[in-house]
């Protein structure tokens, strides 16, 4: 039987990604696409699947090791479908490990106040960190959920295949009598009860698009952890819109071979204006340190721009946007938007942002509350501009007004700072000279 090296596949531009979980052990029988190990970059958690069915011969890496594309992680006897023979060394090792675990790992006694899986008050042994869950069979999403809910996976019994812990197992651990959450932590929110909608009429179930499956937990985490506040203002962009139309006509009508063939949208001007406001108020270009006692000021201006795709919202990042002009930003925005809609982006394309902008101007609306893209501390939302009467001291005149909606992390940004930032941003948009000089 041939011995196959299972290597880390293409994971984008990430290198030296830590191994956070080993999902199999020597002697295990796996099927094609069964997860073998879990890796975690600063933006995503990913599993490396088995390329084919077989028996795990050797685990080459351990939890904590750092790997890159092409690193060998597992040796696999490809094609084998049976488990280890009863007398084999792998079977003996597995049996010995199981016996040791059953004797050496007693269940933690339940806490009378914090749910059956919380540590007993005064216990000298704290719950294990996620990196210590190497012997637990659970997917990255399950491990992440357990971390957020402060659930000890070592205390759970998996109901999935081969004893794998599922999301339902973690959620079930949160339930007390009557189906109400017994967990008293800040994240212990009772689940919405499951309903059989087919009782009321015809239904159709479709899988959630991949982008929404990936971004959903991130948005949920940001909403639960960040005290959101949204400040609204508006900018008079009458002159700016006239200038934008002239640039747009020139860029659109110029042949591609001469550097044209692109659109100049209001978003390019918003990026430039936001950078000017961020330089004036650098606290909004910062991130709260993990210890929650320090603020990390970023000396770079990488602006994330929300792009609407058929599968959901994606936020690509324009790096070093402060070094680019309106026309260069317009060209890059066009290329990035196409790349996102074609689904050809990599993790590097959507990481490293310091401030984000979400524009619904092409759709409509009067205002909205965008969710802060953690670990950033603020996000600018804009909707469609409208003509409004403006009193100039003598008469009313029509002016084109752009609504601005700034959502911010109230732990870092207070209301007065948010108001000053948004007003400064509006002032830049109202004076074209500040955008082109």
Cis bond upstream, residue 375 (ω within 30): yes
Q: Reduced to 3 states, what is the DSSP secondary structure of residue 5?
A: strand
Among residues 218, 228, 410, 424, the one annotated as catalytic is: 410
The span from the CA of 110 to the CA of 274, in Å, is 52
The span from the CA of 436 to the CA of 426, in Å, is 15
* 410 has catalytic annotation: yes
The span from the CA of 57 to the CA of 26, in Å, is 5
C-beta neighbour count of 316 within 10 angstroms: 23
| Interacting residues of 235 by C-beta distance below 8 A, sequence separation 6+ | 401, 402, 404, 425, 426, 427, 429, 430
Residue among 44, 35, 66 nearest 210 (CA): 44
Residue among 284, 241, 283, 281 nearest 265 (CA): 241
Q: Is the dihedral of CA 14, 15, 17, 22 positive or negative?
A: positive
Token digits of residue 342: 């074609």
396-409 and 35-40 strand pairing: unpaired
The span from the CA of 19 to the CA of 39, in Å, is 5
Residues 380 and 405: beta-carbon distance below 8 Å: yes
**How is residue 179 annotated by DSSP?**
G
* Residues designated as active site: 410
């Amino acid at each position: 039987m041939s011995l196959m090296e299972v290597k880390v596949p293409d994971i984008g531009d990430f290198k030296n990604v830590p191994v956070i979980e080993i999902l199999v052990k020597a002697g295990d029988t796996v099927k094609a696409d069964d997860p073998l190990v879990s890796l975690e970059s600063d933006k995503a958690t990913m599993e490396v699947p088995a390329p084919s069915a077989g028996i795990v011969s050797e685990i080459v890496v351990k939890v904590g090791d750092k790997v890159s594309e092409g690193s060998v992680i597992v040796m696999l006897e490809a094609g084998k479908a049976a488990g280890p023979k009863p007398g084999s060394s792998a079977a003996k090792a597995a049996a010995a490990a199981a016996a040791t675990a059953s004797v050496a790992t007693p269940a933690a006694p339940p806490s009378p106040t914090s749910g059956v899986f919380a540590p007993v008050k005064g216990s000298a042994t704290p719950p294990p960190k996620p990196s210590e869950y190497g012997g637990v069979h659970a997917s990255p999403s399950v491990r992440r959920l357990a971390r957020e809910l402060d659930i000890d996976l070592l205390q759970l019994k998996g109901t999935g295949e081969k004893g794998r812990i599922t999301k339902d197992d973690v959620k079930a651990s949160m339930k007390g009598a009557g189906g109400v959450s017994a967990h008293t932590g800040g994240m212990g929110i009772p689940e919405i009860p499951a309903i059989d909608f087919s009782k009321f009429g015809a239904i159709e179930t479709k899988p959630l698009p991949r982008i929404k499956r990936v971004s959903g937990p991130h948005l949920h985490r940001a909403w639960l952890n960040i005290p959101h506040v949204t400040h609204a203002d508006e900018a008079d962009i009458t002159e700016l819109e006239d200038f934008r139309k002239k640039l747009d006509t020139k860029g659109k009508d110029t042949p591609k071979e001469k550097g044209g063939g692109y659109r100049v949208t209001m978003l390019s001007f918003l990026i430039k204006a936001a950078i000017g406001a961020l330089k004036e108020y650098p606290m909004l270009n910062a991130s709260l340190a993990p210890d929650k006692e320090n603020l990390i000021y970023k000396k770079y201006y990488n602006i994330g721009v929300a792009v609407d795709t058929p599968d959901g919202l994606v936020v690509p990042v324009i790096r070093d946007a402060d070094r680019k002009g309106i026309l260069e930003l317009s060209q890059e925005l066009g290329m990035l938007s196409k790349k996102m809609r074609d689904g050809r982006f990599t993790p590097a394309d959507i990481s490293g942002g310091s401030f984000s902008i979400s524009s619904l101007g092409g759709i409509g609306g009067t205002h909205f509350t965008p969710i802060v893209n953690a670990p950033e501390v603020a996000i600018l939302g804009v909707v469609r501009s409208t003509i409004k009467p403006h009193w100039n001291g003598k008469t009313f005149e029509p002016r084109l007004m752009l609504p601005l909606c700034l959502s911010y992390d109230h732990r870092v940004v207070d209301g007065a700072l948010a108001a000053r930032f948004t007003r400064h941003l509006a002032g830049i948009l109202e004076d074209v000279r500040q955008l082109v000089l």
